[in-house]
Amino acid sequence: MVRIGIDIGGTFTDIVVAGDDEVRTHKVPSTPADPSRGAIDAVEAAAVDPAAVEEFDHGTTVATNIAIERNPGARVVFLTDEGFADVLEIMRTDRENMYDRQWEKPDPLVPRTDRHGVPARTTVDGEIHTPLDEAAVRAVVREYADRDETVSYAVSMLHSYANATHERRVAEIIAEEHPEAYVSSSHDVFPQAGEYERASTVVANAYVKPKMRDYVERLAGDLRERGMDAPVNIMQSNGGLLPVSEVADVPAKTLFSGPAAGIAGATHFGGDPDLITMDMGGTSTDVGLVQDGVPVSTTEGEIQWGIPVQFPQMDIEAVGAGGGSIAWVDEGGLLKVGPQSAGADPGPVCYGRGGTEPTVTDANIVLGRLNPETFAGDLDLDVAAARAAVADLGERLGMDAEETALGILEIAMNALTGAIRSVTVERGVDPREFGLVAFGGAGPMHAPGVIKVSDIPRAIVPPNPGVLSAAGLLTTDFRYDQLQSFIRPLSAFDDDALDDLNDEVDAMVTEGQAALDTDGLDTVTVELAADLRYREQAYEVTVPLASERPVTSDDLAAAAGRFHEKHEQLYGHKSEGDAVEVVNVHVAIVGTRTPPGALDPEARGGGGTAEEARVDTREAVFADGRQETAIYARDLLAPGSEFTGPAIVEEGQSTTVVLPGQRARVDPTGNLVIEETGGEDA
């Protein structure tokens, strides 16, 4: 039996087929117009026996593309309390660029004609101030029901996290009057205080829902046609899988799933519980953090500036430095890198497809660090053109081509280091205890440069870094995240309040366990956490709440203790005498399974010594000049082999550049580990 992982990226769709003993990988071009075709193409390229497939795990950015490109999504009808229907357009009243007098505010996903306020009002304590005017709701819904058009309703009423009576009733009326319409309600999708963020999240869900449902149904149908009846699971933004039927219901949970599978793969293969992940592509780099074997997550996400979607997602710092990032000189004579990118088309100058401005990849070519014959697959790279472009730029700085190329890389490396600082030091985490796992097209090439300019002790390049995301799909857990605002000071938790809290938690646990009712899970566990803050403080800190249910007053006291500690770790001080309040409660249902035997890192082997793997030498340029540099073939390097930089390791289209003053070794799991030897700077 095998499991299939398929990851659809912007350019390529990757497939990993893994059984107990064997792993096969393929890349096929993505088909953006109809992404499921790319997935089916990949299945066919891999020539899998349909009867042997026991599970199909899938990462897709279909929802992301609908939301970001508005290509377009559904017609969303927004319903809320009378007087507040403009919340989607008022937004949070700040702006992206504060000195731009001509700033354009993003258009809301729902135009004003489709936003409706109906008489109704619930107070902050969950009491009904103005009863819902049901006739008004009915009138609005009937108007849409009479049209021959797919409608996706988004219902988000004030304080519905405290009392969802009105929202439930509105959903019932829609079901009566317009039964074929899609409905998303905020108490169901995202019951957190803060009316704009909640409304924005539920609207985004409604916006992508019809197309996402079509997509997953078509994909499952196509697979069945090919005789594949295995369960289909989809990757969410939180790095966990969910059965396809659950995703179809709340597809916004996949909006930020792009980086998730890669981080899941890095977590599994990185060989260390504490990792910084660096996924470097053509236009940008995503930096993430894994602590104690768990990727760090956040709920602060935006589909575009000012339009938040607040489901748990990998806490990524994205930086506009990728292989295609363009280097330029500003009017004041400073060298800059990015944020403009040559992308895949025209691509770097060396691709010879019309690019004229030098990129990070061109700098690597000028320095001899990339193999022009293999780096871009079948495409032979134009070294002379890259050199001329970099030299032209350098002329304006009074620097030669090599100096300029080194400068471009130094600026890019420091930008990456800044992103790493954001996910570590700024959150009270010391990066000196972390390994840097590099993947993506440009990650392995630059990670050794990053550790040189930062405090990170080692870079880790897993084997097959180009399909790490697809492999990650097969190694990650299932996960169903829920949240409920439950705002009150700790001192107010009497027995009644505890009962209320436990009722909420139990309801979430029941819902989550039902969602993960799927075959093949080894264990299903419940994780409880809470957002706490000092009373009236404007920001919360998330801490574990209890290991067992029901939650007791002792659990709350212990959570408060963890809160003080974590507050001090993050912000340098705590106030144990101050009142603490609970803001939100999180419930996660986690389902684990055993990854296919062939993806067990311990199962790796093969290859020979460094001497045997050394296939060539080439001149390459480093900070202290031009040096004869050994070239190693990655698949010939066995665990235990070791060599020193400068060295270049080639593996298909991935290149790892080990700098002078660094040492590389292959660890028992096949990872290439690069460390500083403590010698002089290079």
Partner 1 sequence: MSDDGVDPVTQEVVGNFLQSTADEMGTTMMRTAYSSILIAKDFSTGLFDADANIIGQADYVPIHIASMQYSVQWAVQEIGRDNLEPGDMIMHNDPYRGGTHIADHTVIRPVFTADESELLGFTANRAHQLDMGGMSAGGFAGDATDAYQEGIRVPPVKIWDAGEEQRDLWKFLLSNVRVPRNTFGDMRAQIASNLTGEERLHELVERYGLDTVRETWGALRDHSERLMRAQISDMPDGTYHGVDYMDDDGITDDRVRIEVEITVDGDEFTIDFEGTDPQTAGPINCPWAVTAGGVYIALYHLTDPDIRFNEGCLRPVHIMVPSGTVLNADHPAPTFGGNTETSKRVIDAIVRAFVDALPERVTGAHIGTSLNFTGGGDHPDREEDYAWYLFIEGGWGGTPDHDGASAVKSQISNTRNQPVEVLERKYPFLMRRYELRPDSGGPGEHRGGLGVVWEVELLDGEASFNALADRVTIPPWGVHGGEPGRPNEILIQRPDDESFRPVGEVFDTVSPSKFSNVPFEPGDVVSVRTAGGGGYGDPADRDVEKVLTDVEMGYVSPDAAREEYGVDPDGGETR
Taking CA atoms, 508 is separated from 138, 484, 628, 675, in Å, by 30, 9, 62, 46
Beta carbons of 13 and 469 less than 8 angstroms apart? no
User: Nearer Cβ to partner 1, position 58 or 533?
Assistant: 533
Interatomic CA distance for residues 34 and 28, integer angstroms: 14
User: Nearer Cβ to partner 1, position 29 or 428?
Assistant: 428
Beta carbons of 57 and 235 less than 8 angstroms apart? yes
Ranges within 416-435 binding partner 1 (CB under 8 A): 418, 421-422, 426
Q: What single string gives the DSSP state of each residue in 226-285?
A: TT--S-EEEE-TTS-EEEHHHHHHSGGGGTT-TTHHHHHHHHHHSSSSSEEEEEE-SS-E
Tell me the closest approach of the beta carbon of residue 360 to partner 1, in angstroms.
Answer: 14
Q: What single string gives the DSSP state of each residue in 357-414?
A: S-BHHHHHHHTT-S-TTTTBTTBPP-HHHHHHHHHHHHHTTT--HHHHHHHHHHHHHH
Query: Does residue 538 interact with partner 1 by CB under 8 A?
Result: yes
Which residue matches tokens 């080894």? 522
User: Nearer Cβ to partner 1, position 16 or 529?
Assistant: 529
Tell me the closest approach of the beta carbon of residue 409 to partner 1, in angstroms.
Answer: 9
Ranges within 368-407 binding partner 1 (CB under 8 A): 397-399, 406-407
Choices 412-420, 471-479, 545-553, 640-648 (CB under 8 A): range interacting with partner 1? 412-420
State the number of binding residues for partner 1 (CB under 8 A): 66
User: Nearer Cβ to partner 1, position 116 or 268?
Assistant: 116
Query: Does residue 330 interact with partner 1 by CB under 8 A?
Result: yes
Choices 350-358, 413-421, 632-640, 657-665 (CB under 8 A): range interacting with partner 1? 413-421
Tell me the closest approach of the beta carbon of residue 197 to partner 1, in angstroms.
Answer: 8
User: Nearer Cβ to partner 1, position 20 or 143?
Assistant: 143
Name the helix (H) or strand (E) containing 417.
helix 401-423
Rounding to the nearest 10 degrees, give the CA dihedral for residues 195, 198, 204, 205.
Answer: -140
Beta carbons of 479 and 587 less than 8 angstroms apart? no
Q: How many residues does the chain have?
A: 682
Query: Does residue 129 interact with partner 1 by CB under 8 A?
Result: yes
Tell me the closest approach of the beta carbon of residue 237 to partner 1, in angstroms.
Answer: 22
Query: Does residue 634 interact with partner 1 by CB under 8 A?
Result: no
Q: Of these, 21, 33, 47, 99, which contacts partner 1 (CB under 8 A)? A: 99
Q: Binding pattern to partner 1, positions 483-522, x when CB under 8 A?
A: ----x-----------------------------------
3-state helix, strand, coil in the chain (%, to 5): 35, 30, 35
Interatomic CA distance for residues 296 and 423, integer angstroms: 9
Choices 2-10, 121-129, 258-266, 289-297 (CB under 8 A): range interacting with partner 1? 121-129
Q: Of these, 214, 392, 410, 600, which contacts partner 1 (CB under 8 A)? A: 410
Choices 116-124, 233-241, 440-448, 662-670 (CB under 8 A): range interacting with partner 1? 116-124
Beta carbons of 632 and 643 less than 8 angstroms apart? yes
Burial of residue 342, with CB atoms counted within 10 A of its CB: 0-12 exposed, 13-18 middle, 19 or more buried: buried
User: Nearer Cβ to partner 1, position 49 or 571?
Assistant: 571
Query: Does residue 305 interact with partner 1 by CB under 8 A?
Result: no
Query: Does residue 124 interact with partner 1 by CB under 8 A?
Result: yes
Taking CA atoms, 373 is separated from 368, 377, 461, in Å, by 12, 8, 22
State yes or no: cis peptide before 646, omega within 30 of 0: yes
Q: Of these, 21, 104, 180, 602, which contacts partner 1 (CB under 8 A)? A: 104
Interatomic CA distance for residues 1 and 3, integer angstroms: 7
Identity at 58, one-letter amino acid code: H
Chain residues that interact with partner 1, rule: CB under 8 A: 83-87, 89-95, 97-105, 111-113, 117, 121, 123-124, 129, 158-159, 193-196, 329-336, 397-399, 406-407, 410-411, 414-415, 418, 421-422, 426, 487, 534, 536-539, 570-573
